[in-house]
Every structure is written in structure tokens, then in C-alpha cells.
Amino acid sequence: MAERILMNEFKALSQEPWVNVELQNDDIFRWTIGLIVLNPDSLFYGGYFKASMKFPTNYPYSPPEFRFHRPLYHPNIYTDGKLCISILHSPGEDEMSGELASERWSPAQRVESVLISILSLLDDAEVSSPANVDASVLLRKDFEAYKERVRKCVEDSKADIPEGFEMPTHESTIRSAPKQVKDDDSDFWAESDVDDDMFGGSGSDQEEVDSDAFEQGDDSMSDDE
């Protein structure tokens, strides 16, 4: 079952502009990820952040492992590239860390929701419990110097762009909500909420459309009366 679920997720993510996914040696349990930041307001905009994901054989009941190939200068990323993020911690509450079960991994999570959480974490660091103390201190004490360190990480990351791969840009992509994976095990999945700001967009256009449709609906009701 894990193989089928992962294959469906892999195929869905292969269509997304903000991530590049490949299998390592055709092994569905080992992925190479290229996270692409499309939000021009992000400090990490324009980066191609290469990483590895390793999935357990009992996925989705246990979380995958995630590690950046080039460690980013960030309060919540260890110097070996591993992340300090609740969504990748084993299911259940942890009294020692104070994490709630709702913050940690659950079988309802998907690869997509993990990657979106990681993108959100880049510009919304948790500085109270840092994995990189130096980065946490610099972020709080000297934001301009922190921005310069991040800028260097972005430039270094471009060396990992695969040959022949065309990097998407904010202007060349259209924001879309993550797609629901459809298969016989769809009960595992919950719809993911997407932060519009992550893609540099907002919901104002949709609200205007909905408002127009509502007004048209009122007119048609008046005509019937």
C-alpha cells in the first residue's frame, strides 16, 4: 500500500512548478527534492534547495526523513541539513517538547503538506527553540546581516539546478491550490490549507468573482418574483 500511495503522490507533485522531484535509483522510498521558492517577498526567493526524503515502509503511519543537501543558514535547520519541525516528528504528544499531537505527524499528512510546511518555515522561523543558535541570534540581533547570509545560501543553491532544468519564476507561474491525490486510499488524506502569501498571491480576485456571482444570483431571484 505504501508504494501505491507514494507513487500517486510522486506523480501529482511532478506536475507542480514549485518542486522538482526525482526517484533515487528508481526507489519509490527515496526521493530527491528540489524546493523552489516562488514568492518574491521571501528572503529565499529564487533558490533551488536540493534535499532528500526517505520514507518508511509503513508510510503514511510514520513520517519520512528530510535533509537538505546544502545546509541553509536558518534557526530551525541543523548544520547537517536536517530540520527541526514538528510535522516530521513521530505521532502523538511529547511531554518533553510540549508538542501537541495535532502539531506532529499523522497519517493524514502528505508529502505535499510537509513541503509546504517547510517552505513556510523558511520565512517564519521558530527562534525560541533553535536548531542553529547562531542563526537564531543573528536573525534577532542583526536582521540585515542575517539577510546577507541567506542571500549567499540562495546563490549557492543555484549550483544544484539540474542541467537542462528551466527554473520557474513568480511571473511565469499561476498560483494553484495543491491537488488532492485520488486513489482507493483517499480516506488517508485531508485537504491542505495553502498560505496565499507563500505563492505571492491573495484571495481578493476570487472574492470579487464570488461577490459578482452572488449579486447576479440576487437579480435572477428578483426577476422570478
Query: Would residue 100 count as lying in a domain?
Result: yes
| Per-residue pLDDT, 135 | 96
- Which helix (H) or strand (E) segment holds residue 49: the answer is strand 48-54
Q: What digits encode the pLDDT tens for the residues 80-131?
A: 999 988 888 766 555 555 555 556 788 888 999 999 999 999 999 988 889 9
Q: Is 153 a catalytic site residue?
A: no
| Per-residue pLDDT, 222 | 42
Residue 17 carries which side chain, given as an amino acid letter? P
Query: Would residue 211 count as lying in a domain?
Result: no
Report the chain's C-alpha Rg in angstroms.
20
Query: Would residue 164 count as lying in a domain?
Result: yes
- Which helix (H) or strand (E) segment holds residue 119: the answer is helix 111-123
Instruction: State how many domains the chain has.
Output: 1
Query: Would residue 201 count as lying in a domain?
Result: no
Contact present, 91 and 108 (Cβ < 8 Å):
no
Q: Which CATH number characterizes residue 96's domain?
A: 3.10.110.10
Query: Would residue 195 count as lying in a domain?
Result: no
Residue 153, domain extent = 1-169
Query: Would residue 197 count as lying in a domain?
Result: no
Contact present, 79 and 96 (Cβ < 8 Å):
no
Query: Would residue 85 count as lying in a domain?
Result: yes
Catalytic residue among 2, 23, 28, 84: 84
Q: What digits encode the pLDDT tens for the residues 121-162?
A: 999 998 888 999 999 999 999 999 999 999 999 999 999 999
Give the chain's largest Cα–Cα span.
69
Query: Would residue 222 count as lying in a domain?
Result: no
Q: What digits encode the pLDDT tens for the residues 18-39?
A: 999 999 999 999 999 999 999 9
